[in-house]
Chain A
Amino acid sequence: MNASPNSHPFTTPVTGAVRIERIAFNAFRMATYSILVAATLIFGIIFVKGSETIFRREFPFINVTFLTGSPETLHVFEHDGQKHELGDKAFRAYLESHGNPQVADENYVYSAGGIFPCIVGTFFLVVGSMAIALFVGISAAVFLNEYSRGGPLVEMLRLAILNLAGVPSIVFGLFGFGLFVLFAPVFGPAPDPSHFSLSLGFTYLNFSGWGVSLLSGWFTLAFMVLPVVITASEEALKAVPKGFRDGSLALGATQWEAIRTNVLPYALPGILTSSILGIARVAGETAPIMFTAAYVVRDRLPWQVEHASEVLFQGVMALPYHIYVVSSKIPQNVYTERVQFGTAFVFLFLVLCIALSSVILRSRMRARYRW
């Protein structure tokens, strides 16, 4: 028998099967940890390189121009035996103050200044599309979970939601371009000869499309994220115990009253926290907004418009699209790397904060409501 000191009658003998098990489980462990290592590497490289752009050694420790300025062309040149790296405006001012000397400068577009318009644009896109998606999504979930009683029609609805979740984002982009940018109706005082138009008596409805605009982007993104919101809302509604509804109905409430007073208030926190994941998705997608809402560059901020109605019908700059532009349209070198990694850092940081808050809020929620 085995004579090792801690052997006792109940030790498992180390047979071949046990050895295989150990090897296999260790392989699984390695695979799992290598995923984590790879993810950490990606986060790490982007955060380390990006923080060189974002943070400063001296007060205020943060690169304020990068977060509050607009993108500018970077000029790199030598003058008076010194090397200068200046943004477009500063470059012109410098030339003027030095009597307009001839300098040989290398310039890189978008590599100076900041990304404030992109942050603002992404914020606008997210707020609008999430408002639409939440409104439609919660209502759809209420129907599916509270009113519907099964049957082929409801099955079809569920199938459609499932399939909608699988549609590639670029197809949403094409769809949004075809429907909202080119075809969606706008009110106009006179019929538009080149498009289909409807007379409403007091005004005309011209199907001339919304153009590349916030509105087009909102609807495209909202429809893209709809399955996420519906699924999240349904889960939150399911978590409300049946007794709440029954109690309310037994007291004579109509079904809508029961939902309004005894279901929605308890489900709403859950719905909202789960939908935060949807926000991360909306903020992160590039393909759907490429042709529907995003501009490569725009010098005015969304609120700098003449008429209030223009707010909806303007394109905006957006963080994900800006990352695409700076990583594909300009060369890779020391000067452009700053804006590239800086933008990626800010974007990743924002999206991960959103995702993290969703995870934390959800686990808190679970702890708070125990029925």
Chain B
Amino acid sequence: MQSGEQNQALSSALKGKTRLRVFGLTFDDVMRYFFGGNATVAVVVLALILIFLLKEGAGFFGQNHTNIRVYRKAGLEYVDIMRAPLEEFSSLTRSLNDVRLKRFRTLLAQGKDVAAANEALTPFDDFANAFGAAASEARGVVSDTTEVASAVKTRAQVSADREEEKAMLLHSGKAAEAAALKVDEVNYEAEIKMITGTAPVWKAASLEMQEKLGAALVVARAADWSKGDKDLAKVLEKTERFISDLPKGESRMAAWRWDEPVPFSRAVTAFLFGREWLTASFWQDWYGILPLLVGSLVVSLIAMVIAVPFAIAAAIYISEVATPGEKAVIKPYIEFISAIPSVVLGFFGVAVLGTALRSLSQVEWLHWIPGFPMTERLNALTAGCLLAFTSIPTIFSLAEDALSNVPKHFKEASFALGATRFQTLVRVLIPASLSGIISAVLLGFGRVIGETMVVLLCAGNRIAIPDFTEGLSALYQPVHTMTGIIAQEMGEVAQGSIHYRALFMVGIILFTVSLLINFLAQRVVRKYRISIG
């Protein structure tokens, strides 16, 4: 009897308390699912980022399509075709001016005074004046048609706005008010006739331009003063090509149709490969990401060129060369740099570094460096230098990890064979940790391209693709970046407008690029890891 009671007591003690179950779950299960649920937050947030970027940004292509359709229907495209040769002509006159300036300077350098130099350049000026006057007729035609097309576009916009208002009224059940709202349909066909009707006038103007330019060319070629000037010869040659290309524009104008449908793909390509980001313009808004993408890449590449050698050298020094005392100080100090907020670095660029770099570039004996002295205080180089600073800690600590994770016996084997420390480093340690170093560089690049405040404050914010034909000085030109444009313009745009959606599209591109870089970095580590052990 007694042993039976004891058994019962023992077994109940072993079984423990009966567990409370809610919906078949014990308290332990609930806790488990609770923690699991929190862990999925990372996945959920990633998904939400994508969803909300797409939600706000996806409408962009539709709106851009309409935007480009109106551009064609209202005849703006036609006027732009007309204008294209004139813009080319303007660049020709600019280079002609450069030639004059150069000659003027040489004359001054030869010891002539200003009046004498101007006197000597009189035949050149006569030619330049004749050259410039050739386009006056054509310019008049273009400016007239510009006005007409602008007016058509404005009316199209007004009627589109009315339409929207009407739809909104109908939606909220105010049918009577909606009916009262009159929408003026724009008769594109009639309006376009007014624009394309200028074709004969344009043709005459273009012919006149060809003749005048041709005559000016003949004069210049025959004259003494044009002999032996390579720059001038180049300009003349370009002018010749320009004259022969003029009829091509006319044939494009003849082939142009206002009612030709704009394919939807044009809305996508105009964004991805568009060379212009032009907003709030009176003529036509363009949302092309190329200048921003190129700006981001230029700034990031400058940063990487500076950061990678320094960061990797420091990583090697700390893991292989430094004494324990140095290591204990330097390593935390470099990691400490990553705590500097980027906006403080940006401010440092605006207040100190930009001015310092420019005055450095004005130092006389540094003028051999191409592009010096720089004209702008805030440019791609200023931003790049500071961005290098933000990426150094990232690259340094990841590369240092990779180097110190190489098994000790690799090193010992190399030493045993009589290699010096440097030989061991170059032949054994770096190859063994190369995948880690490359992924460190990639992650540093990802950090740099996503950095906002430094580029917003220091890159100069001029939306233009740097002129790479000028060589290295392209690096000292102000640029705008993808991150910078979002930060700068997001606060000023109307919600739901095409501009607003375009900014979200830039965000999507940025998000994709950062995921891609992360993916590559992980892949490099996995694929090229030396099997250790």
Contacts and interface: CB of A to CB of B under 8 A. Distances in A.
In terms of DSSP, what is the predominant structure of the interface of chain A?
helix
Contact of A287 (B56, B340, B483): B483
Contacts of B443: 166
B228 interface: no
Contacts of A175: 48-49, 52-53
Interface in A25-62: 25, 27-29, 31-32, 34-36, 38-39, 42, 45-46
A301 B420 CA distance: 64
Interface stretch (B27-35, B90-98, B141-149, B213-221): B27-35
Interface in B313-360: 313-314, 316-318, 321-322, 330, 332-337, 339-348, 350-352
B334 A171 contact: no
A211 B311 CA distance: 42
B490 A174 contact: yes
Contacts, number: 257
A257 B421 CA distance: 52
Given A164-B46, A174-B52, 6 more contacts: A27-B313, A31-B313, A140-B42, A173-B486, A174-B53, A286-B453
Interface stretch (A16-24, A70-78, A113-121, A200-208): A16-24
Given A31-B310, A139-B38, A290-B491, A178 B347 contact: no
Interface string A294-336: 0000000000000000000000000011011001100010000
Contacts of A355: 336, 339
A143 B39 CA distance: 7
B339 A183 contact: no
Interface size bracket, B side: 35 or more
A263 interface: no
Contacts of A159: 522
B330 A147 contact: no
A280 B514 contact: no
A283 interface: yes
A6 to B, nearest CB: 21
Contacts of A35: 310-311, 314, 334, 337, 392
Given A136-B41, A178-B56, A351 B487 contact: no
A20 B302 CA distance: 29
B350 A226 contact: no
18 contacts: A27-B313, A29-B321, A32-B330, A36-B334, A162-B518, A167-B49, A168-B483, A168-B511, A171-B53, A171-B450, A171-B511, A175-B48, A182-B56, A324-B457, A348-B340, A352-B339, A354-B339, A355-B336
A34 B340 contact: no
Contact of A347 (B344, B507, B522): B344
Contacts of A148: 36, 39
Contact of B340 (A42, A156, A169, A254): A42
Interface in A137-179: 139-140, 142-144, 146-148, 156-157, 159-164, 166-175, 177-179
Given A178-B53, A178-B504, A164 B42 contact: yes
Would you list the 4 A-B pairs with minimal beta carbon distance, nearest first?
A: A168-B450, A284-B341, A139-B38, A31-B313
B297 interface: no
B477 interface: no
Nearest to A286: B343
A341 interface: yes
A268 B55 CA distance: 39
B41 A140 contact: yes
Interface in B1-58: 16, 26-28, 31-32, 34-36, 38-43, 45-46, 48-49, 52-53, 55-56
B389 interface: yes
Nearest to A39: B337
A166 B514 contact: yes
A85 interface: no
A347 B420 CA distance: 47
Given A35-B392, A157-B39, A166-B515, A320 B343 contact: yes
A253 to B, nearest CB: 10
A255 interface: yes
Nearest to B40: A157
Nearest to A283: B341
